[in-house]
Structure 1
Amino acid sequence: MKNVIAALVLATSVSTVGFAQETDATIRAYAAGYKAAFTCSATFNGGKSPEQIEAQELTGIYPLVADVVPTLEAKIDHDAKRVTVAFSDTLPPRISQWRPHLGCTQLPVGAKAETTAALPRIDIDVPARNDSAPWSRIPSNYGEADNEALAALVARAFKDPKYGKDAFTTALLVASPDEILIESYIDGYTHRTSQRTWSVAKSIAASVIGAAVEEGQIDIKAPAPVASWQSPLDPRKGITLENLLHMASGLDSNQAGNRTDRLYIGGGRVDDTAMRTSLEVNPGSRWKYANNDTLLAVRALKDAIGDEQAYLEFPFEALLHKIGMLDTVPEVDWGGNFVMSSQVWTTSRDLARLGILYLNDGTWNGERILPEGWAKYVATSAPSQPPAARANGSAIPGYGAQFWLYNERFPELPNDSFAALGNRGQILMIIPSKNLVIVRRGHDPAGGEGFQIHSFAADVLKALE
């Protein structure tokens, strides 16, 4: 699976294939889980048609299951809000079940539909919707802007190979805390169209943890309170939450840390996957991009809170709903663990709202949501860093705390630029010195040249001069 993040990881000569030896039966189960999960989320979170799902969500699949997914049929039950995909003559279909707020969850391989009643659920009050908040001004029509150069740039960026010869852009948005300067979408999309964030979810996870720090729920400098690590014989108990946020846990995350197939498409739980790995190096001594580090950081929050229902409600009550991210759905595994390394669905405006929160140093309408200085913290270089460049000489962003840093490695941008990046070109870029956020959503194909956000952002700044 090649994506914005994986392309960076490739610079360290990490392979995305060959580290697992799945049987044909497991590959079929994974393929069915992929199709069930993506169809369910795109249907019930994203409101997408079967044709859109087939053309957008079920393309760009990494090789392990790419050939099998098209051979399987997804059955959508709109009444039960459930998707099933048959894959075996002896086992039940793979099942993905939607619930309000928590989205779609895959059942484990072999589970039957009647067990969906036992899935985690929450019932929370949702604030009144205000699609225009926090902005005092939004253009009347998509693609329009007072700045003609900006409008022309955004229109061109949907198809200009300068910004990625293989890029498939679905949305672009540029905003300050006061106004949306421009937003534009492909046909069939609006500001309410939700897409999977992929690894942009990691930055949302860091924001949830920041809210927990502000409330005194957790301490990033202390050992991560993962209950299963607390034996005096377990050296993992010394891994701090900060190590996890910095992608520096030192844990074994296979050859490709961005591949967590058993959890993402195999119906596993965070407890079955991320919590079972052992140390490879001392915590803090190595940067390695790993989904498990994010998963463990959020899992540590669950143990710190100590109450599953309170944990499930926390992201909404402490962060998302407070800043109007009402179209954001963080999904969970069947054990009630948020999969905030990837499986969050949200809109362009909701991502822009998160960016504005960081521009405002964690405050919203006078209320402090994130700790003072949290924006600077996540955008400060971690002690261990990814390589500076790929084999072809192109720059790799630096790394902070679950955000990527477009610092001195990208002289065309202000040194304080930082971003949330995800597979297939999901991007939230934050430029504090320009008081600006840029959101790009897409379905860039695997293996191609995806959207070049540094080039686009530099051109946005020129248009605004």
Structure 2
Amino acid sequence: MKKIKRILLAIVLITLSYFIYDTSIKLPVVTGYSAKDVCSGLFIANRSLESLENNDINYSFMSKTSIKVDREEKSVTASIFGLFPRKAIYRGALGCCITKGYNEEELKQQAFERPTIENIPLDTAINGIKSEIDFKLLNSALDSVFEREERTRGVVILYKNKLIAERYGDGFDQSTPLLGWSMNKSIINALVGIMKSQNRLDLNDKALFKEWENDERKDIALNDLMHMSSGLDWDEGYGGLSDVTKMLYKTGAASGYAMAKQFSVKPDSKWIYSSGTSNIISQYIRNTISNDQEYHNFPYEELFKRIGAPSFYFEADASGTFVGSSFGYATTRDWAKFGLLYLNDGMANGERILPEGWAEYSYTPAKASNGKYGAQFWLNADSEIDEFMCIGHHGQMVSIIPSKDLVIVRLGLSINKRFDTNKFNQNVVNSIKE
């Protein structure tokens, strides 16, 4: 009997020890997520704390976090029952970052003001194309994604470069910057294209980092990274602790975490969706520019200003490298302007911003992706529509459909119900008369 009790006690202790260990490594991700999300929501999107707590972090373990805001310092601290506190701080144009492991005074010194960017309004003169649009079908398509459970926050639809539809959910409007999540990978695509046009890099570049010089990683080309076919190990799981959650919420240098991953297979032989890959490219851009002031101004001066999109915030981690995989905000209209750049093959406001043919490069399928992915853009291999897309967590989407002259933007917070991108886009396409 005593032996059985000892065995049962041992099992209980082992189980309890594992639970404590598992909790200690997972909950800092939860508090880090909450602190970062609320910080950006408050100081970039100018939303209320009540709205953020009741909507953005009111699910899963995030709903258990307690939030403390220091508006003078522009910081947010999140904890769970007072445990595992994580703090995020706002740094002007660089957005918010988690402070863990970094000197907060040094982080504050990173802050800089965004360059002045003129808003170039979308064209709303649609009289000449009204006869080509079935507005009853178009409005029905919008109605379907503004049902309560869809949790859509903003939709903008452009046809032939003109704004033909726009709608917002309660508490949001055309001036609200919204998080694009992985749509920011396509921002990385644009920055690479701009630098290529400036002859500052080449897609065939190899031996990209000193850390990779003495192993197989020296054979990884920039083009392999663009296609998510680098051959590096990666786990993109969002249900628990994974490479992507550790990279974003447990380290201050996202690119450093990703760059340290081990070589797995020959480059360009296997496609693995990897947020780490986009951050590696961001670091390569930073190293290539080799001047942090220029690097931090680069997306604002060379991209957002030229497409007339002043609301963009492209956020950097604590090391100062843009988190190109995930963290960038803009209004729904400004996300639409980004899509318009690709619909028009890199032209905006009469100026060539991306190299000629760059859009085609972006939507050409990566060899190992089975038609699912191009260069930091998703492809829709399961649809008859010729679309390529920026896709982000919780149903963010910028869809570019060249044959229909369409750009479709949807931003929201789909949690319990997955947003049906294909259905919505098909409904919009159906509203354009043949």
Equivalent residue number for residue 80 of structure 1 = 73
Indicate the percent of aligned positions where both proteins have the same amino acid: 31
1:155 to 135, 143, 149: 143
2:383 to 381, 399, 410: 410
User: After the TM superposition, which residues 268-307 of structure 1 pair with which residues of structure 2 at under 5 Å, given as runs?
Assistant: 268-307=252-291
Q: Which amino acid in structure 2 is aligned with residue 158 of structure 1?
A: F
TM-score by length of 1: 0.81
Relative to structure 1, is the Cα distance of residues 22 and 286 closer, same or farther in structure 2, using a 3 angstrom cutoff? farther
User: After the TM superposition, which residues 72-151 of structure 1 pair with which residues of structure 2 at under 5 Å, given as runs?
Assistant: 72-86=65-79, 93-109=85-101, 113-118=104-109, 120-130=110-120, 132-133=121-122, 135-137=123-125, 147-151=135-139
Relative to structure 1, is the Cα distance of residues 228 and 307 closer, same or farther in structure 2, using a 3 angstrom cutoff? farther
Query: Does residue 243 in structure 1 map to residue 224 in structure 2?
Result: yes
- Secondary structure class of the residue paired with 1:171: strand
- Whether the 8 Å CA contact 1:246–1:400 is kept in 2: the answer is yes
Matches of 1:22 and 1:264 in 2, distance apart? 20
Q: Which amino acid in structure 2 is aligned with residue 241 of structure 1?
A: L
Deviation per CA, 1:245-283: give whole Å up to 9, x if none: 111000011474984222312243124411111111001
Q: Which amino acid in structure 1 is aligned with residue 249 of structure 2?
A: I
Equivalent residue number for residue 7 of structure 2 = none
- Whether the 8 Å CA contact 1:208–1:315 is kept in 2: the answer is yes
Deviation per CA, 1:120-144: give whole Å up to 9, x if none: 23345312334x24x24389xxxxx
| Structure with greater proportional helix content | 2
Query: Does residue 328 in structure 1 map to residue 312 in structure 2?
Result: yes
- Whether the 8 Å CA contact 2:119–2:309 is kept in 1: the answer is no
Matches of 2:126 and 2:175 in 1, distance apart? 15
- Whether the 8 Å CA contact 2:39–2:76 is kept in 1: the answer is yes
- Whether the 8 Å CA contact 1:176–1:356 is kept in 2: the answer is no
Alpha-carbon deviation of 1:324?
1.5
Deviation per CA, 1:280-305: give whole Å up to 9, x if none: 10011001111111111111111111
Q: Which amino acid in structure 2 is aligned with residue 28 of structure 1?
A: L
- Whether the 8 Å CA contact 2:206–2:221 is kept in 1: the answer is yes
Alpha-carbon deviation of 1:84?
1.8
Query: Does residue 312 in structure 1 map to residue 296 in structure 2?
Result: yes
Matches of 1:22 and 1:176 in 2, distance apart? 53
- Secondary structure class of the residue paired with 1:322: coil
Relative to structure 1, is the Cα distance of residues 192 and 334 closer, same or farther in structure 2, using a 3 angstrom cutoff? same
Query: Does residue 198 in structure 1 map to residue 175 in structure 2?
Result: no
Relative to structure 1, is the Cα distance of residues 360 and 104 closer, same or farther in structure 2, using a 3 angstrom cutoff? same
Aligned pair count reads 406
Matches of 1:225 and 1:459 in 2, distance apart? 44
Q: CA RMSD in A?
A: 2.5
Alpha-carbon deviation of 1:113?
4.6
Alpha-carbon deviation of 1:398?
1.4
Equivalent residue number for residue 437 of structure 1 = 407
Relative to structure 1, is the Cα distance of residues 227 and 336 closer, same or farther in structure 2, using a 3 angstrom cutoff? farther
Equivalent residue number for residue 208 of structure 1 = 191
Deviation per CA, 1:33-92: give whole Å up to 9, x if none: 1111011011111111122212321145xxxxx33x33332111222211122469798x
- Secondary structure class of the residue paired with 1:420: strand
Moved more, 24-33 or 178-187: 24-33
Query: Does residue 426 in structure 1 map to residue 396 in structure 2?
Result: yes
Deviation per CA, 1:10-49: give whole Å up to 9, x if none: xxxxxxxxxxx96433333222211110110111111111
Relative to structure 1, is the Cα distance of residues 310 and 88 closer, same or farther in structure 2, using a 3 angstrom cutoff? farther
Equivalent residue number for residue 17 of structure 2 = none
- Whether the 8 Å CA contact 1:225–1:303 is kept in 2: the answer is no
- Whether the 8 Å CA contact 1:328–1:344 is kept in 2: the answer is yes
Unpaired runs of 5+ in structure 1? 1-20, 61-65, 140-144, 161-165, 387-396
Matches of 2:333 and 2:50 in 1, distance apart? 24
- Secondary structure class of the residue paired with 1:399: coil
Equivalent residue number for residue 401 of structure 1 = 375
- Whether the 8 Å CA contact 2:398–2:410 is kept in 1: the answer is yes
TM-score by length of 2: 0.87
- Whether the 8 Å CA contact 2:394–2:412 is kept in 1: the answer is yes
User: After the TM superposition, which residues 346-385 of structure 1 pair with which residues of structure 2 at under 5 Å, given as runs?
Assistant: 346-385=330-369
Matches of 1:43 and 1:137 in 2, distance apart? 34
Matches of 1:443 and 1:207 in 2, distance apart? 25
- Whether the 8 Å CA contact 1:136–1:178 is kept in 2: the answer is no
- Secondary structure class of the residue paired with 1:80: coil
Equivalent residue number for residue 8 of structure 2 = none
Q: Which amino acid in structure 1 is aligned with residue 228 of structure 2?
A: M
- Whether the 8 Å CA contact 1:107–1:267 is kept in 2: the answer is no
Unpaired runs of 5+ in structure 2? 1-19, 128-132
Equivalent residue number for residue 418 of structure 2 = 450
Query: Does residue 461 in structure 1 map to residue 429 in structure 2?
Result: yes
Equivalent residue number for residue 5 of structure 2 = none
Q: Which amino acid in structure 1 is aligned with residue 78 of structure 2?
A: V
Alpha-carbon deviation of 1:94?
2.0
- Secondary structure class of the residue paired with 1:228: helix
- Structure with bigger gyration radius: 2
